[in-house]
Amino acid sequence: MRDAFDALFAPASVALVGASDDASRIGGRPLRYLREAGFKGRVLPVNPKRETVQGLPAYASIAALPEVPDTAILALPAAATLQAVEECAARGVRSAVIFSAGFAETGAEGEALQARLTATARAAGMRLLGPNCLGVFNPALGYYGTFSVILDREMIHPGPVGIVSQSGAYGAHIAHLARARGLGISQWITTGNEADIDVAEALNHMVRQPDTKVVMAYAEGVRDRDLFIEALETARQMHKPIVFMKTGRSAVGAAAAASHTAALAGSDRVFDAVLRQYGVHRAATTAEQIDVAYAAASGRFPAGDRVGIFTMSGGFGIQLADDLEAAGLDVAPMPEDAQKELLDLLPYASPRNPVDATAQAVSDLNVLKACVRTMMERGGYDAFTAILGTGPGSKTYADPLREALMQALAGHEGSIRALTMSAPVEAQRRYEADGFLVYEDGSALAHSLGALARFRDAFDRPASAPAPMEPLPLPQGPLSEAGAKALLKQAGIQFPAEHLAPDAEAAVQAAGALGYPVVVKICSPDIAHKTEIGGVAVNLKDAAAVRQATAEILARARAKAPGARIEGVLVAPMVPGGVEVIVGVTRDPVLGPVVMAGLGGIFVEVLKDVTFRAAPFDVPEAHRMLREIRGYALLEGVRGAEPADIDALARLLSDLSRFAAAHRDGVVGIDLNPVRVLPKGQGVIALDALIELEAP
Amino acid sequence: MRDAFDALFAPASVALVGASDDASRIGGRPLRYLREAGFKGRVLPVNPKRETVQGLPAYASIAALPEVPDTAILALPAAATLQAVEECAARGVRSAVIFSAGFAETGAEGEALQARLTATARAAGMRLLGPNCLGVFNPALGYYGTFSVILDREMIHPGPVGIVSQSGAYGAHIAHLARARGLGISQWITTGNEADIDVAEALNHMVRQPDTKVVMAYAEGVRDRDLFIEALETARQMHKPIVFMKTGRSAVGAAAAASHTAALAGSDRVFDAVLRQYGVHRAATTAEQIDVAYAAASGRFPAGDRVGIFTMSGGFGIQLADDLEAAGLDVAPMPEDAQKELLDLLPYASPRNPVDATAQAVSDLNVLKACVRTMMERGGYDAFTAILGTGPGSKTYADPLREALMQALAGHEGSIRALTMSAPVEAQRRYEADGFLVYEDGSALAHSLGALARFRDAFDRPASAPAPMEPLPLPQGPLSEAGAKALLKQAGIQFPAEHLAPDAEAAVQAAGALGYPVVVKICSPDIAHKTEIGGVAVNLKDAAAVRQATAEILARARAKAPGARIEGVLVAPMVPGGVEVIVGVTRDPVLGPVVMAGLGGIFVEVLKDVTFRAAPFDVPEAHRMLREIRGYALLEGVRGAEPADIDALARLLSDLSRFAAAHRDGVVGIDLNPVRVLPKGQGVIALDALIELEAP
C-alpha cells in the first residue's frame, strides 16, 4: 500500500464531496476535468440531493460510498467542512483536499476551526491538503483534483516541470504560463493554509518524482524548516533545479503574507541566503521563473562558462554580450588565428565574439555554416548562442536555416544551444525539437544560461559536511561575557587570553601577567551592553591606570545597574591590527538557527553588508558565504594591506554554526562583535561575546 | 522651404536609386512599402537597365530625374555609393539615405570612403543618413524609406512612440514589439554609421515632434555631446519621456560596440549617470523598454507615489506589493476606519492594502464595486492597480467586470489605472480603450509605474541653472599643488590657509604662523603623486619636526625626481574631523567633462561607490548626485556623529562643474582627494588638488 501522501496524486478512487451537476461551479469543475481527461480511477460524487451528477451515480454521504476512497475532494463551504473531515476520518479515507477558504487566514475563530481539522485528521492518520487551496493534479494519469479555471479550455501535458505552490492562484498561473511555453507538467500541488501538508513536504515529494526534472515553487514562508532544507538538499544532490518565487520581501508584502495563508514571516534576507546556500535559483519575477525553468527542464547544464555569440546584427550582439557578462558568463574571444580565418571568409565580419557575420550570412547559408563551425571548433565554447531575428519565421528560409545550424553544430552535441528569434510559436517548437533553447528576448536567454551555470556549480559541490557537535550542558539563566566565552571555547572559538578579576588589585595583577596595554571590561550576566554604562576602558598602559579604571567601572556598574550580579572585570590584552568583522547567530522565525557575518563598523551600519547561512555548515560553505560580502576585498587586503586569515574566519563560522545547530532549542542568539581577523596564518580572535539563552 | 533634415521624414518626392523590380530585395522593398502604404509623394525609381520598376517609370540616372527629389534612398553596394552621393550633390538633392554597409565599421579603408561621403554631402549642403542603416519611416504619411522586413506582413500605425536607433536591426525589433503591443509610431529613424546625422540630432528632432509622446532610443555611444544633452533636456522640459537602451556596459560589449558602428566607447557608468541626470529611463532589457514606453505613451503620470492594490488572490497581491515597493512606490495602508468598513462588507477580506477581496468579489460584482470605491475614496491613491487573472478573458464575465470597474472608479479619472490579466489581446485592448494600462505580468506593471513616478519627478524639477563662469586664463604647462589650488580658488573652491615655503627655515616660520600641528608636502608641477616619493609628512608638532621633515622631503624629491622643478614645500594646518570624500573631474570620451564624487578611502577602493554628473550643474542637482552614493548615510551622520555639511559639499561640486565646463578644452582632469566635509555649518575643505591641463 502506497503512502497516503502519494495517494493524493494517484488515487485509485476519489470521492468528490459537494459534487455539482453544473460543470462551471467549484463542485462541478473537478468532475468535468476528470472525465474530459479520461481519468482511469473510480470517481464517486457525493451529493445528498441528487441521484446522478454529470451523468455519474451520486451518493448521499461519505458513509454511503460503496468503497473507501483513496482521497476525498471537499468542495464545501467552510462551515460544512469539519463535519465532512470527521466523516472521512470515520470511514478511513486516507487523504482529503479542502478547497474552501474561511479558516486560519480570517482570524482566531477560523484558526480554531482549522486546528480541529488538523487534529481530527491526525488522530485518524488521514492526510489533509489545504484548506484554502486549489488541490493537486497529475496529467500523466489524467487526475485533476482541482477547480482551477486554467483547465477550462485545455488540459495539461505530462512533462518535466513539477509545481509546488502555497498560493493556488499563483500555482495555476505558472502552470498556465508553462503550458504556453510548451512545457509539460509532472505533478502540481497547491498547499494553501497548510493545516497538515506544507510546502516543505510537498517539495520533498516533488523533487523525488522520476518524471520531475525541474521544480517551480512559490512560498511566502515555510513551516517545517528541517524538511524544507532536506528538500532543497535532496534536489541539489539529485541535480534537480528548483526555481523559487518567494514573496513577502518588502515590509508591506511581509505583512500581507502574514495575514494571507497565516504563514510566519521570517527575514527575507535569510530566506534568500538559504536558497543560495542550497543552489536554488530565486526568481525576481514570474517571467524569470518561467524562463529559467524552461532552460532547466532539459536537465542539461553547460560544462563551463564560455559562451559564443553568433549574430547577424551588431547591436543585438553587443546587448547579448552585456547580458551574458552580467549573468556571470564568459564571452571569451576567439583565438587570434581563428579570427583571421573568419575575416578571410567574411571581410566585413567582426570575428572576435560576438561573431557578427553581418547580413551576408543571411544570404549565403554556406558562409553561415562555415562561420559557426569555426566558432565551435576553435572557440571552445560550452554554450552556443545565436541571434536569428525574423529568419526562422520565414516560410522559405526557416528550414534551410535550421538545417544549416544543425550541420554546423554537428559533433558539438555536448554544448548548450540557445537562440533568440522573432518567429511564430510553431517555428520555435521545431527548433526546440532539434535540441535548441529558444527565447524571444536576449536578456532572458542570458539570464537563464547564467542560472544553468550556477545550478551546475551547486550540483558539482560535495554536500556540506560539518562534523556533528554533541550538545553541551547549557547553564541556567543569562551569561556574562566570561560565561559566554567559556561556553563557546568548548566549541572551538578562540578568544584572547584574559582574566576575570573581582577587584582593582586582582585586575592590576592580571594586567601585569598579560602585559600592557590592556582592556578592562565589566563582567556581569545582567549587563549585556557594557559600553552604554561606561563599563569598558581601553588602552590602559600601566598599573595605576588599570587600578583607577577598574574602580571606576565597578562603581559605575553598581550605580547604573543596581540589581546586576557583578562577577568583576575582565582584563584582556589589546589586540592590534587585523580586519574587524562581526559574527552572530540568530533564530529566524522561519528558518531557525542562522549564522550571520559581515565587515564591522560602518560597513554593517551604513551598508548592511552582511550575509547569512542556515546552521550547521562546513568550512567550504563558510568560504562561499564570506565571498558574498560586498566588501570581501578588504579581507583579501587592499591598499597594500596583508591578506587576512580568511581560512580561520571560515573555520570560526563553521564551528559557530555547529554550536548553533547543536543548541538550537536553548540558544536564542549569539553576538561576536568585534572579531579581529588577523593576517593570514595568524588566526582570528573574537574580542567580545554575548549569548542569549532561552528563558527556562 | 522646410529644413533638409525634416525633409528626410516628409519628402514631397523621393528617388530610389538602385530600385529593383523584385519586391523582396533591398532595392525593391522600399518601393513596395511606399506603394502599399499609399504614400502621396512622388516616387522616382532610378535603374539604368529598366524602363519600369514595379510598374513605375524608371529613370536611367539621378541626372535624368524629371525633378530634384527632396530625398534619395541609395540601395547600392558600398563601391557605387560615393558616385551616387556625388551625383545627388551635383543635382542639389537635399538629403540621402544610405543602406549599404562596408564603410567605417570595416576598418581604415572604409573609414576613408565614409569620410568622402561626408565631405561631399557637407560641401553641397546635403544631409546624409547612414551608411549601414535601415532608413526612416513616418506612418502618418505612409512614407517608408526603409527595407526592414518587419513591414513584410503589416505596416505600422501612426501613434505616440518615436523611435531613434543607431542599430537598424534593434530599431526594427522594437518597432515590431511596439506594434505587437498596440502602440503606434510617430516617426522612426536609424542612424547606423552616422557619417552625418547622429543619434543626438535625431533625438533632438524626435522629441520636438508634436505627435511624439514618448521616445524609445538605442545607442552604443554618442557623437555630439552637447546636442545629445540638449535633446535630453528638451525632452524633460517638454515632459516627453525617453526610454533608453544603451549597450556596451560590459568590457566585451564595449569592445564590440567600438568595432560595430565605430562609435566611441565612454564610461558606461558616466552614461548611466547622465541619463539619470536628465530624467531619462535607462532600460535594462528590451522587454522593460517596451513596458515602460507603453506606460509612458499615454502622457499621464501619477500625481504622487501612493498605490492601491486590489486583488482577489493573496499571493499575487503580496508579489505586487513587493514589486511596487522595490519600484520606489508607496503601498500605503487604508485608513483604519476604512479597513473596518471593508471587513463589514467582506468578512474574509484583507482590508489593509493590498486589499484582498478573495474569490467573493469575483462572484458578486456589487461587492467588487463597493470595495474599489471605498479604496479610491478613502485610500487617497495616486494609482489604482488590480489583479484580474483570467476574468477579463471570459466571454460572459469580461464586459460586466470592466463596467463594474469603470463605475467604481468614476470620479477618480485623475489617477493612473493599471491592471494585470491573463486574457486574449482583444480583451486587453478593450480595457486600454477605457483608459487602463494592461500588463500580463505584475512585476512589469510595478516597474513601469515606478518609472512613471520618476519621470514625473524629473519633469517637475526646475531646469538646472548653474551660473555661467567666465573662462580663466589657464597657465601653460603642468601645475603644482599650489598652482592648482590658486586656480581653483578663483572658482570658489575652499582650501586650508597654507604657505608655500622654499626651504626649511621658511617652513618653520610658516608653521609658526599657522599654529601646530602642521603638514608639510613637496610642491612641484612635475610631481603628481607626492606620497609615492615620500613627499608628505603629517602631524608635525614643533619647529624641529618641521625643519627636519622639510629638509628630508626636499632631499628625497631631488633624489627621486631629479629633473623636477621644485617650488618648495606647502605648509598646511592639520584639519581634524569631518567625513572624507573624493571629488574629481574627468573628460569622458563620449560625454565630455563630468564631475565625480564618492566617499573616500575603502568606500572608493573596495566598493567603487562613486557617482557622476555632466558639467555644469547647479546645487540642487549636486544634492541629487550625492544622494546616489550608497554610503550617503555617512554624510548624514551615523553612530551618533554630527551630520556633515552636505550643503557646502554640494556647492563645491556645482562650482567645480562650472569650472570644468568653462575650461572643457583646456582641463583634462582634476582630483580633489581628500576633501573633508566638516560638521554642518562649518563647510568643506579640499586638502589636496591636482589639475591635469591639455598639453599646449
Domain CATH code at residue A506: 3.30.1490.20
Q: How many CB atoms lie within 10 A of CB B621?
A: 22
Mean pLDDT of chain A: 94
Query: Is residue A486 included in any domain, yes or no?
Result: no
Q: Average pLDDT for residues A143-163, to the nearest whole number?
A: 95
Q: Average pLDDT for residues A293-310, to the nearest whole number?
A: 97
Chain B residues closer than 8 Å to A316 by CB:
167, 169-170, 173
> Phi/psi at B34 (nearest 5 deg)?
-60, -40
Chain B residues closer than 8 Å to A605 by CB:
633, 638-639
Within this chain, do residues A455 and A313 fall inside the same structural domain, yes or no?
yes
Q: Quote the CA–CA distance of A620 and A466 in Å, as a whole number.
A: 10
Question: Residue A144 in contact with residue A151, Cβ under 8 Å?
Answer: yes
Cis amide linkage into residue B354, ω under 30° from 0: yes
pLDDT band at A103 (very low <50, low <70, confident <90, very high): very high
Task: Tell me if chain B has a CB within 8 Å of the CB of A359.
Answer: yes
Question: Residue B208 in contact with residue B180, Cβ under 8 Å?
Answer: no
Q: Quote the CA–CA distance of B243 and B226 in Å, as a whole number.
A: 19
Q: Which of residues 536-595 of A touch B (CB under 8 A)?
A: none
> Phi/psi at A14 (nearest 5 deg)?
-135, 130
- A1 pLDDT more than 50: no
Q: Quote the CA–CA distance of B201 and B196 in Å, as a whole number.
A: 10
Within this chain, do residues A567 and A583 fall inside the same structural domain, yes or no?
no
Closest to B198 (Cα-Cα) out of B188, B190, B206: B190
Q: DSSP readout, B66-80?
A: SS--SEEEE---HHH
- Amino acid code (one letter) for B391: G
Q: Quote the CA–CA distance of B244 and B221 in Å, as a whole number.
A: 12
> By CA distance, what is A320's nearest residue in B?
B253
Q: Which of B252, B330, B358, B638 to mutate to test the interface with A (most CBs of A within 10 A)?
A: B252
Report the DSSP beta bridge partners of residue B53: B56
Query: Is residue B610 included in any domain, yes or no?
Result: yes
Question: Residue A99 in contact with residue A123, Cβ under 8 Å?
Answer: no
Closest to B624 (Cα-Cα) out of B284, B279, B325: B279
> Phi/psi at B56 (nearest 5 deg)?
-100, 145
Grid coordinates of A24: 462551471
Query: Is residue A490 included in any domain, yes or no?
Result: no
Q: Quote the CA–CA distance of A82 and A371 in Å, as a whole number.
A: 69
| Residue B696, pLDDT score | 74
Pick left, alpha or beta for residue A248 (phi over 0 → left; psi -120 to 50 → alpha; otherwise beta): left
Q: DSSP readout, A266-294?
A: --HHHHHHHHHHTTPEEPSSHHHHHHHHH
Say whether A430 sits in a helix, a strand or coil.
Answer: helix
Within this chain, do residues A7 and A88 fall inside the same structural domain, yes or no?
yes
Within this chain, do residues A60 and A99 fall inside the same structural domain, yes or no?
yes
Q: How many CB atoms lie within 10 A of CB B545?
A: 18
Instruction: Find the CATH number of the domain harbouring A668.
Output: 3.30.470.20
Grid coordinates of A350: 567582426
Q: Name which of B313, B390, B633 is nearest A606 (Cβ-Cβ).
A: B633
Q: How far is A412 from chain B (nearest CA, A)?
A: 24
Q: C-alpha distances in angstroms, A602 versus A540, A607, B627, B640, B646?
A: 26, 7, 17, 12, 19
Cis amide linkage into residue A48, ω under 30° from 0: no
Q: Name which of B169, B252, B315 is nearest A313 (Cβ-Cβ).
A: B169
Report the DSSP beta bridge partners of residue B672: B583
Domain final residue pick, B548, B573, B598: B573
Within this chain, do residues A290 and A420 fall inside the same structural domain, yes or no?
no
Task: Measure the N-to-C terminal CA separation of chain B; round to a whole number of Å.
Answer: 45
Q: Quote the CA–CA distance of A641 and A578 in Å, as a whole number.
A: 10
Question: Residue B17 in contact with residue B84, Cβ under 8 Å?
Answer: yes
Instruction: Find the CATH number of the domain harbouring B13.
Output: 3.40.50.720
Q: C-alpha distances in angstroms, B245 versus A315, B3, B163, B275?
A: 10, 28, 11, 11
- A263 pLDDT more than 60: no
Q: Quote the CA–CA distance of B148 and B188 in Å, as a whole number.
A: 12
Domain final residue pick, A533, A550, A573: A573
Residues of chain B with pLDDT under 70: 1-2, 259-265
pLDDT band at A254 (very low <50, low <70, confident <90, very high): confident
Grid coordinates of B341: 468598513
Q: How far is A58 from chain B (nearest CA, A)?
A: 27
Question: Residue B574 in contact with residue B519, Cβ under 8 Å?
Answer: yes
Query: Is residue A533 included in any domain, yes or no?
Result: yes
Q: Name which of A106, A247, A354 is nearest B347 (Cβ-Cβ).
A: A106
Kindly indicate whether the ipTM for this predicted assembly is greater than 0.90, answering yes or no: yes
Within this chain, do residues A91 and A227 fall inside the same structural domain, yes or no?
no
Within this chain, do residues A513 and A533 fall inside the same structural domain, yes or no?
yes
Closest to A245 (Cα-Cα) out of A224, A268, A212, A278: A268
Pairing type for strands A214-219 and B355-356 reads unpaired
The DSSP secondary-structure symbol of B348 reads T
Within this chain, do residues A411 and A340 fall inside the same structural domain, yes or no?
yes
Query: Is residue A294 included in any domain, yes or no?
Result: yes
Torsion of CA A548, A549, A551, A554, to 10 degrees: 170
Torsion of CA A386, A391, A396, A398, to 10 degrees: 40
Q: How far is B693 from chain A (nearest CA, A)?
A: 28
Within this chain, do residues B584 and B568 fall inside the same structural domain, yes or no?
no
Query: Is residue B34 included in any domain, yes or no?
Result: yes
Decide which of B649 and A397 is more confident: B649
Query: Is residue B485 included in any domain, yes or no?
Result: no
Question: Residue B594 in contact with residue B274, Cβ under 8 Å?
Answer: yes
Chain B residues closer than 8 Å to A168 by CB:
313, 315
Q: Quote the CA–CA distance of B99 and B81 in Å, as a whole number.
A: 9
- Amino acid code (one letter) for B335: P
Task: Measure the N-to-C terminal CA separation of chain A; round to a whole number of Å.
Answer: 45
Question: Are A256 and B422 an interchain contact pair (Cβ–Cβ within 8 Å)?
Answer: no
Question: Are A356 and B168 an interchain contact pair (Cβ–Cβ within 8 Å)?
Answer: no
pLDDT digits (tens, 9 = 90+) for A427-457: 999 999 999 999 999 999 999 999 999 999 9
Query: Is residue A484 included in any domain, yes or no?
Result: no
Closest to A632 (Cα-Cα) out of A614, A644, A619, A648: A644
Distance from CA of residue B69 to its chain's centroid? Answer: 36
Residue whose C-alpha cell is 524609445: B216
Question: Residue B581 in contact with residue B674, Cβ under 8 Å?
Answer: yes
Domain final residue pick, A247, A280, A299: A299
> By CA distance, what is A422's nearest residue in B?
B173
Q: Which of residues 115-174 of A touch B (CB under 8 A)?
A: 149-150, 152, 165-170, 173
Within this chain, do residues B326 and B417 fall inside the same structural domain, yes or no?
yes
Q: Which of A252, A261, A269, A634 to mutate to test the interface with B (most CBs of B within 10 A)?
A: A252
Q: How many CB atoms lie within 10 A of CB A46?
A: 28
Q: Average pLDDT for residues A268-295, to the nearest whole number?
A: 97
Q: Name which of B318, B602, B605 is nearest A256 (Cβ-Cβ).
A: B318
Torsion of CA B47, B52, B53, B56, to 10 degrees: 120
Q: Which of B106, B173, B216, B422 to mutate to test the interface with A (most CBs of A within 10 A)?
A: B173
What helix, strand, coil percent values describe chain B, rounded to 5? 40, 20, 40
Q: Quote the CA–CA distance of B538 and B673 in Å, as a whole number.
A: 15
The DSSP secondary-structure symbol of B279 reads T
Grid coordinates of A571: 582584563
Instruction: Find the CATH number of the domain harbouring B175.
Output: 3.40.50.261
Q: Quote the CA–CA distance of B69 and B39 in Å, as a whole number.
A: 15
Q: How far is B282 from chain A (nearest CA, A)?
A: 13
| Residue A251, pLDDT score | 83
Q: Quote the CA–CA distance of A249 and A251 in Å, as a whole number.
A: 7
Within this chain, do residues A452 and A356 fall inside the same structural domain, yes or no?
yes
Burial of B527 (0-12, 13-18, 19+ CB in 10 A): buried
| Residue B261, pLDDT score | 52
List the domain range (segments joined by +) for residue A183. Answer: 156-299
Task: Tell me if chain B has a CB within 8 Å of the CB of A194.
Answer: no
Q: C-alpha distances in angstroms, B118 versus A608, A641, B104, B195?
A: 54, 55, 12, 6
Q: Which of residues 328-357 of B touch A (CB under 8 A)?
A: 331, 333, 347-348, 350, 352-354, 356
> Phi/psi at A648 (nearest 5 deg)?
-65, -40
Q: C-alpha distances in angstroms, A392 versus A423, A446, A657, B156?
A: 6, 20, 54, 22
- A261 pLDDT more than 60: no
Q: Average pLDDT for residues A92-117, to the nearest whole number?
A: 94
Half-sphere exposure of B41 toward its Cβ, with a 13 Å CA cutoff? 27
Q: Name which of B166, B251, B316 is nearest A315 (Cβ-Cβ).
A: B166
Q: Which of residues 473-532 of A touch B (CB under 8 A)?
A: none
The total number of structural domains in chain B stands at 5
Within this chain, do residues A564 and A596 fall inside the same structural domain, yes or no?
no
